[in-house]
A = this chain, B = another copy of it.
Amino acid sequence: MSRLESFIRRLTAQRDILDMICREMPLGEGPVIELGLGNGRTYDHLRERLPGRRIIAFDRVCQANRKSMPPDCDLILGEIDETARPFIGINAALVHADIGSGYDDLDALNLGWLSGLIVDLLAPGGIAASGVPLSHRELHPLPVPAGIAKDRYFLYRRS
């Protein structure tokens, strides 16, 4: 399968999972946390699907299209494992993490902190969606929508 085809399937999985969360899963009252703003496309999608919900976006540097720029107060730049620490305990309803490098070997080395951080940001019962697999005793895998291949995108609920 070409990388273009694989990317289309990944983005489609991302959209379908976010849509399932927003439409079918009762979310708590906390904010949404977007780890990895990137171009801002999923930020834009979440903003459209969850009107009025605070979305706090993190990235190393800002690369967002101006059409998807969060307000200054909700855009946190710098190394995410450091900049997110002050937000521990914020009781997020949903954390969406899309911070893979495109290299599985590098991600395995560099994202060891991600699962623990997500647990610390989520409210009890909160939802995590991630482009890389997470591993933590408080994160319980949930089924993804039909048609999404195993290992394409990942969904969890915190204890």
Q: A residues bordering B, Cβ < 8 Å?
A: 2-5, 7-8, 11-12, 14-15, 39-42, 44-45, 47-49, 65-68, 102-103
Contacts and interface: CB of A to CB of B under 8 A. Distances in A.
Contact of A2 (B4, B7, B45): B45
A40 B3 contact: yes
Among A4, A7, A48, A49, max chain B CB count under 10 A is at A4
Contacts of A14: 4
A15 B8 contact: yes
Nearest to A68: B3
Contacts of A5: 15, 45
Contact of A4 (B8, B11, B66, B102): B11
A44 B3 CA distance: 6
